[in-house]
Structure 1
């Protein structure tokens, strides 16, 4: 089936899609074929068929789709991937106050004034929004008292355990340096980040087990109140070949995840072990709180 990976040498031009977005779709298609996820591969081919204005390329895609369907009929679907590996990074339940922005999780480099949740809900981000306050937010925030134990979400090696470089925080109007821990999970090709800590209780280079205390929550850095900022970054495969933030809750919205199509983006998969995903509470139905899509 590897011949199905390198299906087309070029990329169609489209007035509604950038070449980078198309490359993102082809990158996803390549990975879907490599992991034998035929259902996802067929969805991606259908998307390309909808978007391609080139009749010759559409014909190639239609032939390719028939080949995928034939292979799926002959060989069946593989067992689901063994991705879920995350444990809850704290004990108990705390309210989530900020979600992952799938319409560009690039922090201050985003600035498009549009927030897209993992369910495809769209709203204008703002400090008073119950679920999506920060445009370009690349992780999840849970409000919790200062001094709450923060746990390693998976086994790995601590790569960062120190204050972040000083930077100007617009929300506070002054320079800040927050305490953070970053853990590399080598077999999974992922890393996790724990920010705004009040104390760090691990050292760089140290190996930690899932559930091990790595620090205490706080409000250090660019934080308007005590909370944990938890972030997952995918090291490979990504569209750019560079690390990219991903949503550990995956994508459940209609169509394809916009971040997975971006030249700097990557696919988000559900990464929590059974029973370990922290509750998102009312933010799971955030559209009801935010009104109609903007």
Structure 2
């Protein structure tokens, strides 16, 4: 249906494009996907009235970085995504919900988690989330993994994306815990190009993809900062956007490309797990 929508926009068949968007909205359950598509519908309506150039369907940037559908097991911690540099015992989701991170929590396991984890079988094709240049494609330096009680070296890929993002900011995407790498440093890759296979290398307790986005420009410190590609939907200020080392997290997925966050968006009580505690982030 997205291909039909793209063709309708290219030929400026606004009525058909709007009908297709409405059909897609009826099918989508994920609030993040719905918000993205509802925003795009508003653009279509304004261009329809003005009969101007069509809005870009492929905005803002990111494609889905894997093939298939898999459950998300860890979200981005907005307070604060500094991994072991966090330690505040407080996990804040992109909706502003607060809980205590725990390995048993269905959606927020790691205090300071700077990306998203999707559980998937070893050997799942991993795709470049956007066009860019590979800056890292090698094992990470060996380090001690507390959860595994041994030294580890994971396989990872980083890709630099310059241009095409909101405001022209430069972004970098990270793909970690891979089992195989199919690209080399300095290589240019297209969006959707296979860059390797998922695995459980490094400090991983099971097979999954860790996907992370770093913002290289217009951060509070002037240094690169991790950001949430799903943006911020809390009722109050995003604590990471006002942190001295933080940055604002824009919604970065193209229409229809954001992987579903399932029961983690909105966060629901799951069997055997308590609901999130505390009030929305202040």
- TM-score normalised to structure 1 length: 0.71
Q: Which aligned pairs between 1:100-115 and structure 2 lie closer than 5 A?
A: 100-115=76-91
In the other structure, the counterpart of 1:172 is: 148
Rounded to whole Å, the distance in 1 between the matches of 2:181 and 2:67 is 17
Rounded to whole Å, the distance in 2 between the matches of 1:237 and 1:217 is 32
Structure 1 residue corresponding to 2:102, chosen from 126, 139, 154 = 126
Rounded to whole Å, the distance in 2 between the matches of 1:145 and 1:90 is 11
Is the 8 Å Cα contact of residues 234 and 246 (structure 1) preserved in structure 2? yes
Q: Are 1:261 and 2:242 counterparts?
A: yes
Secondary structure in 1 matching 2:269: helix
Q: How many residues align?
A: 215
Q: Which aligned pairs between 1:89-104 and structure 2 lie closer than 5 A?
A: 89-104=65-80
Q: Are 1:272 and 2:253 counterparts?
A: yes
Secondary structure in 2 matching 1:282: coil
In the other structure, the counterpart of 1:18 is: none
Q: Are 1:152 and 2:133 counterparts?
A: no
Structure 1 residue corresponding to 2:199, chosen from 190, 194, 218 = 218
Post-superposition, which runs of at least 4 consecutive aligned residues in structure 1 deviate over 6 A?
none
Secondary structure in 2 matching 1:108: helix
Shift of 1:285: 2.0
For the pair shown, which has the larger CA radius of gyration, 1 or 2? 1
Is the 8 Å Cα contact of residues 122 and 287 (structure 1) preserved in structure 2? no
Structure 2 residue corresponding to 1:231, chosen from 212, 228, 239 = 212
Rounded to whole Å, the distance in 2 between the matches of 1:155 and 1:258 is 30
Shift of 1:228: 0.2
Is the 8 Å Cα contact of residues 122 and 293 (structure 1) preserved in structure 2? yes
Q: Which aligned pairs between 1:47-58 and structure 2 lie closer than 5 A?
A: none
In the other structure, the counterpart of 1:139 is: 115
Shift of 1:287: 5.2
Structure 1 residues not aligned, in runs of 5+: 1-78
Structure 2 residue corresponding to 1:291, chosen from 267, 275, 279 = 275
Structure 2 residue corresponding to 1:197, chosen from 161, 165, 178 = 178
Shift of 1:238: 0.1
Shift of 1:293: 2.1
Q: Which has the higher helix share?
A: 1
Is the 8 Å Cα contact of residues 236 and 242 (structure 1) preserved in structure 2? yes
Secondary structure in 2 matching 1:141: strand
Rounded to whole Å, the distance in 1 between the matches of 2:114 and 2:200 is 18
Q: Deviations over 1:203-227 (max 9, x none)?
A: 0000000000000000000000000
Secondary structure in 1 matching 2:264: helix
Structure 2 residues not aligned, in runs of 5+: 1-54
In the other structure, the counterpart of 1:35 is: none
Is the 8 Å Cα contact of residues 287 and 293 (structure 1) preserved in structure 2? no
In the other structure, the counterpart of 2:40 is: none
Is the 8 Å Cα contact of residues 59 and 255 (structure 2) preserved in structure 1? no
Is the 8 Å Cα contact of residues 97 and 141 (structure 1) preserved in structure 2? yes
Rounded to whole Å, the distance in 2 between the matches of 1:105 and 1:243 is 12
Shift of 1:292: 4.4
Shift of 1:92: 1.5
